[in-house]
Amino acid sequence: MGIFVKNKIKSRYSLPTDAVFNKLRLTEFSRLDKLGQTYLDYTGGNLHPKSLLHEHYNLLQESILGNPHSTNPSSQMATKLVEGARKKIIDFFNAEDYYCIFTSNASGALKIVGECYPFEDNGHYLMTSDNHNSVNGIREYCKSKGAEYTYSPIRQEDLRIDEDRLMENLDSFKDKKNKLFGFPAQSNVSGVKHDWAWVKTAKEKGWDVVLDAAAFVPTCKLDLKEVQPDFVTVSFYKIFGFPTGIGCLLVKKDSFPKLKKHWFAGGTVDYVSVKESNHLLIANHERFENGTLNYLDIPAITLGLEFIESIGIENIRKRVMDLTGLFLKEMSSLKHDNGTPIVRMFGPMNTENRGGTVILNFQDTEGNTFPFDWIENQANKQLISIRSGCFCNPGIDETNHCVSNEEMAQYYTSRKEKEFDSTTGYLRYMSKMIGRMRGATRVSFGIATTTKDIETFVNFVSKLKNKSASSIK
């Protein structure tokens, strides 16, 4: 549990940003310390501030909200709040040139792009090897429509994209009519921030661009006047914790006709006929908002974005970078008595062009790796929330552990005879098959993180000093 002295969080570390953010911890996120928990999984999901829940509860308690698809008073009130949230999103991202489509999450937004992009018309899909599986998954729509896809590789030494290879790929496929390039603004695993200039370069070379911004926008400003991908995906719980189950797809208005919806649902049509078997889709964002929107929770987005604005996104970015720099320094300093590092970190070892997400493995005196699931289990006992595995980003894990095409092919052949009930089971089997450990531990920082949290984690890792990986059970 965190230690408090005169309303200050006591830690052996000190950062310039402590005063403001320690106060936030005491007022908006005090439940962490009341419950004795150390939360270091902000890339998995942010924590909601207490005031957001109170304001949203008061709004619901004092309002009569009905299904928006009507002219009655309750419907109109809900419509007003939903459209207010939509405008807030547009303003927050400086996205006047975009439609805002509400979705279930960022994955749901990416699904719309995959379903509706015209790969079937002489198309091609280019991805970076650093991508969340929801971006990788679009390749299946690409394949089903008779098109092909290409991955642009990662450099193993720093987990950044090999830019020379990327430019070669962007210069290729000149005979293709519909070309889609997908990459993350920030890696959900390594924390690497990828180059905004790729958007302009790709578009100049005839590519449409889908930008996965889910891991980027919780701590950084996204200005869609400055950079203009065709499609941008966001999850709001990643930014301010509540509500879950709501994201959005931002579609550049002049790219909107490119998305071809092949079906319709309630709320997406201006006209539909049974007798003539015909329909007319709504001309704007509503054609992709199937059925009834989550009109009771969408208004919380306005409140959440106002909370972020009250702190300042640049202040949040600086805070997370301060924490990340401290963490990298402290992890690098941890050694066994024989001088062997306890921690092996992957990706950039400084805060330049990276976010507050770090992946690492833990090693014994002989350099043997402690199993990632054992590490997570030990952290669980200390009420420390971290995450382990490959984090829905197989490209980084395969790069980190030098998994070859032949080894992956061998695994999928063997899988016909052996099924697994979890990702952990899969990674264990792969590790045994290829003779080296797969998977890692991920730590990430956010608004509510304090230096005391980092101190707690440093103390946790220090207990591995001089311990043998072969001795654990």
pLDDT digit string (tens) for 49-58? 999 999 999 9
Residues 177 and 149 in one domain: yes
Q: What angle do CA 88, 94, 96 make, to 5 degrees?
A: 85
| Radius of gyration for the chain, computed over Cα atoms and rounded to the nearest angstrom | 24
Task: Compute how many other C-beta atoms are within 10 angstroms of the C-beta atom of residue 34.
Answer: 10
- Is 243 exposed, middle or buried, given 0-12, 13-18 or 19+ CB atoms closer than 10 A? buried
Residues 201 and 298 in one domain: yes
Write down the pLDDT at residue 3: 43
With respect to residue 27, please indicate whether it lies within any of the assigned structural domains. Answer: no
Question: Which contacts qualify for 401-410: CB closer than 8 Å, 24 or more apart?
Answer: 401/434, 401/436, 401/437, 401/438, 402/156, 402/436, 403/430, 403/434, 403/438, 407/433, 407/434
230 and 97 Cβ atoms separated by less than 8 Å? no
Residue 63 region, left (φ>0) first, then alpha (ψ -120 to 50), else beta? beta
The count of domains in the chain is 2
Enter the tokens of residue 110: 């990416």
Closest CA to 176 of 120, 251, 116: 120
Write down the pLDDT at residue 77: 98
Q: At what angle do helices 18-28 and 313-333 cross, to 10 degrees?
A: 100
With respect to residue 410, please indicate whether it lies within any of the assigned structural domains. Answer: yes
The one-letter amino acid code at 81 reads L
Select which of 116, 142, 220, 392 is catalytic: 392
312 and 302 Cβ atoms separated by less than 8 Å? no
Average of per-residue pLDDT values in the chain: 92
Cα 113–chain centre separation: 17
Q: Residue range 377-405: average pLDDT?
A: 87
Is the pLDDT assigned to residue 411 strictly greater than 90? no
456 and 13 Cβ atoms separated by less than 8 Å? no
Write down the pLDDT at residue 472: 83
With respect to residue 35, please indicate whether it lies within any of the assigned structural domains. Answer: no
Write down the pLDDT at residue 195: 97
Of 253, 285, 308, the domain-final residue: 308
b/e 11-21 (16+ beta carbons within 10 angstroms → b): bebebebbeeb
Is the pLDDT assigned to residue 97 strictly greater than 50? yes
**% of the chain with per-residue pLDDT over 70:** 90
Residues 342 and 298 in one domain: no
Q: Please tell me the least confidently modeled range out of 172-176, 370-374, 446-450.
A: 370-374
Residues 288 and 372 in one domain: no
220 is catalytic: no
Q: Please tell me the least confidently modeled range out of 8-22, 48-62, 268-282, 444-458.
A: 268-282
40 and 443 Cβ atoms separated by less than 8 Å? yes
Residues 129 and 188 in one domain: yes
More confident residue, 265 or 21: 21
Residues 300 and 407 in one domain: no
More confident residue, 255 or 277: 255
Contacts of 421 by beta carbon, 8 Å cutoff, 6+ apart: none
Write down the pLDDT at residue 263: 86
pTM: 0.93
Name the residue range of residue 162's domain: 59-308
Query: What is the C-alpha to C-alpha distance for residues 425 and 428, in angstroms, rounded to an integer?
Result: 5
Query: What is the C-alpha to C-alpha distance for residues 407 and 433, in angstroms, rounded to an integer?
Result: 8
Is the pLDDT assigned to residue 12 strictly greater than 70? yes
Q: Would strands 208-212 and 178-184 be described as parallel, antiparallel, or unpaired? A: parallel
Q: Residue range 460-469: average pLDDT?
A: 96
Residues 341 and 424 in one domain: yes
Write down the pLDDT at residue 13: 95
Most confident among 142-146, 285-289, 387-391 (mean pLDDT): 142-146
Is the pLDDT assigned to residue 350 strictly greater than 90? yes
Instruction: Judge if the upstream peptide bond of residue 243 is cis by omega within 30 degrees of 0.
Output: yes
Query: What is the C-alpha to C-alpha distance for residues 107 and 117, in angstroms, rounded to an integer?
Result: 15
Write down the pLDDT at residue 244: 97
pLDDT digits (tens, 9 = 90+) for 178-214: 999 999 999 999 999 999 999 999 999 999 999 999 9
Residues 381 and 452 in one domain: yes
Is the pLDDT assigned to residue 416 strictly greater than 90? no
DSSP, collapsed to helix, strand or coil, labels residue 232 as: strand
pLDDT digits (tens, 9 = 90+) for 108-134: 999 999 999 999 999 999 999 999 999
Of 308, 342, 367, the domain-final residue: 308
DSSP, collapsed to helix, strand or coil, labels residue 443 as: strand
Residues 287 and 345 in one domain: no
Is the pLDDT assigned to residue 96 strictly greater than 90? yes
Is the pLDDT assigned to residue 16 strictly greater than 50? yes
Q: Which CATH number does the domain housing residue 398 bear? A: 3.90.1150.10
Closest CA to 259 of 138, 83, 79: 138
Q: pLDDT-based confidence at 157, cuts 50/70/90? A: very high
Write down the pLDDT at residue 398: 82
Residues 140 and 189 in one domain: yes
Write down the pLDDT at residue 247: 98
Cα 418–chain centre separation: 31
With respect to residue 38, please indicate whether it lies within any of the assigned structural domains. Answer: no
Residues 253 and 322 in one domain: no
Write down the pLDDT at residue 431: 56
Is the pLDDT assigned to residue 5 strictly greater than 50? no
Give the phi and the psi of residue 372 in degrees, each rounded to 5.
-60, -35
With respect to residue 344, please indicate whether it lies within any of the assigned structural domains. Answer: yes
Is the pLDDT assigned to residue 274 strictly greater than 50? yes
Is the pLDDT assigned to residue 154 strictly greater than 50? yes
Q: Would strands 123-128 and 98-103 be described as parallel, antiparallel, or unpaired? A: unpaired
Q: Which CATH number does the domain housing residue 214 bear? A: 3.40.640.10
pLDDT digits (tens, 9 = 90+) for 299-335: 999 999 999 999 999 999 999 999 999 999 999 999 9
Please, how many CA atoms are within 13 Å of residue 306, restricted to the half-sphere of its CB? 13
DSSP state of 190: T
Write down the pLDDT at residue 74: 98
Task: Compute how many other C-beta atoms are within 10 angstroms of the C-beta atom of residue 74.
Answer: 14
